[in-house]
Amino acid sequence: MTHRANSIAARDIASVIHPQTNLQQHQTTGPEMTQRGDGVCIYDDDGREYIDATSGLWCASLGFATKRLAKVAYDQMCELSYYHLYRHRSHEPAIELAERLLAIAPVPMSKVLFQCSGSEANDVAIKLVWYYHNAIGKPEKRKIISRHMGYHGSTVASVSLSGKPDMHADFNLPLDGFLHTEWPHFYRHSKPGESEIEYSSRLAQRLESLIISEGPETIAAFFAEPVMGAAGGVVPPDGYFAKIQSVLRKYDILFVVDEVVCGYGRTGRMWGSETYNIQPDILTTAKALSAAALPISAVMVNDKIYQAMLDESDKLGSFAHGFTYAGHPVSAAVAVETLKIYEEIDVVKLAQ
């Protein structure tokens, strides 16, 4: 395909690197331009209309160009366009968002730590898992187990969690200490005549065998999505999470639940954890948290985790972690408004 020298497509080819794209092919084909959005539709640079059935990357949960969110963002920018949460600083949008998240959490949670993306949220969850085990005197608990074909992000640590070989190839990944167990695709991987319960039992046994072979005293946490999004929308078979959680409790292994895709009604409940009776120690959320209007993510921790964080930060002098834009007041204000809209329209009932 030939593009005019100064066309928008030619400018893209000359200047932009696209993720999850064959870069050599892109030099020839160029981009598929999205010029604007309205409701559930997007429009290309020729004005053609498309229904975006995937809401971007499963994130534009209120559609595109939501005027109410735009107004909140504008008003907050005029009030306080930026400030951080370092060294005791705070602002009301971050506080209100944390309160609202804790109020709707699937299990009792203690505190919220903000980031800017789902990848960052899962990356931080890994750090918190290690921080927790160091705090309680079990530094040998460092290994993390997730699942083949799972997706948890693109940072060095979160992509090590992800069980997708194409995302590891030639990046020198995954990092040491990241292990992968079988993913629960009943249709593709069950044995002839095997029931869902029997299949779930077999996968739980495989997980337990992995834990034993590595040494239970070295396993820090298990990460999982309630429904595996990037793997193709893989729904867990009957009894799967009950059996997995039984194994985790037996060996004192933390459960981190990645709700980045599944949160806010996508499984027919507010959280996938509620749909599948999952009891997370740590929960990560992003994407629909702000209806994708602005970047923001959050990690929720239970009281067991937070009490250890309190003690360790006091011992060390501070909780030495943070991002410049974490809990950004404009993003937080938009996320608060998004949660208000979900409540007003009863997004869970709509999903059902």
User: What is the Cα–Cα distance from 264 to 267, expressed in whole angstroms?
Assistant: 8
| Residue whose tokens read 């991002």 | 323
Strands across the sheet with 36-38, in order?
36-38, 41-43, 49-51
48 shares a domain with 142: no
User: Is residue 42 in some structural domain?
Assistant: yes
User: What is the Cα–Cα distance from 15 to 60, expressed in whole angstroms?
Assistant: 26
Cβ count near 65 (within 10 Å): 15
Number of C-alpha atoms within 13 angstroms, CB side, residue 84?
8
Residues 171-226 pLDDT 10s: 999 999 999 999 999 999 999 999 999 999 999 999 999 999 999 999 999 999 99
User: What is the Cα–Cα distance from 258 to 284, expressed in whole angstroms?
Assistant: 5
User: Is residue 1 in some structural domain?
Assistant: no
User: What is the Cα–Cα distance from 108 to 229, expressed in whole angstroms?
Assistant: 25
pLDDT of 3 over the 70 cut: no
Q: According to the model, what pLDDT value does residue 53 have?
A: 95
159 shares a domain with 54: no
318 shares a domain with 180: yes
Residues 116-125 pLDDT 10s: 999 999 999 9
Please answer whether residues 151 and 229 qualify as being in contact, where contact means their C-beta atoms are separated by less than 8 angstroms.
yes
Token readout for 319 is 């909780």
Token readout for 39 is 């409701």
Average pLDDT over residues 1-24: 88
Check which CATH number belongs to the domain holding 146 and give it.
3.40.640.10
Q: Which parts of the chain fold into alpha helices (H)?
A: 8-15, 23-29, 55-58, 67-79, 92-104, 118-135, 156-161, 186-189, 196-214, 240-250, 272-275, 303-316, 329-345, 347-351
User: Is the Cα dihedral 296, 330, 266, 272 positive or negative?
Assistant: positive
51 shares a domain with 119: no
Token readout for 316 is 């060390």
Domain boundaries, position 18:
8-58
Residue among 318, 294, 301 at smallest CA distance from 62: 294
DSSP state at residue 292? T
Residue among 73, 42, 65 at smallest CA distance from 296: 73
Nearest-5° Cα angle at 199, 193 to 201:
135
Number of domains in the chain: 2
Q: According to the model, what pLDDT value does residue 1 have?
A: 56
182 shares a domain with 84: yes
Please answer whether residues 293 and 334 qualify as being in contact, where contact means their C-beta atoms are separated by less than 8 angstroms.
yes
195 shares a domain with 86: yes
pTM summary value: 0.95
Q: According to the model, what pLDDT value does residue 5 have?
A: 67
Token readout for 135 is 């705090």
User: What is the Cα–Cα distance from 110 to 306, expressed in whole angstroms?
Assistant: 7
Residues 55-99 pLDDT 10s: 999 999 999 999 999 999 999 999 999 999 999 999 999 999 999
162 shares a domain with 39: no
> What's the one-letter identity of residue 303?
D
Domain boundary pick from 16, 40, 58? 58
170 shares a domain with 209: yes
**What burial letters (b/e) apply to 104-139, b meaning 16+ CB within 10 Å?**
bbbeebbbbbbbbbbbbbbbbbbebbbbbbbbeeee
User: Is residue 199 in some structural domain?
Assistant: yes
Q: According to the model, what pLDDT value does residue 6 have?
A: 80
DSSP state at residue 53? T
User: What is the Cα–Cα distance from 164 to 345, expressed in whole angstroms?
Assistant: 36
User: What is the Cα–Cα distance from 61 to 44, expressed in whole angstroms?
Assistant: 20
Q: According to the model, what pLDDT value does residue 37 have?
A: 97
pLDDT of 132 over the 70 cut: yes
190 shares a domain with 337: yes
183 shares a domain with 51: no
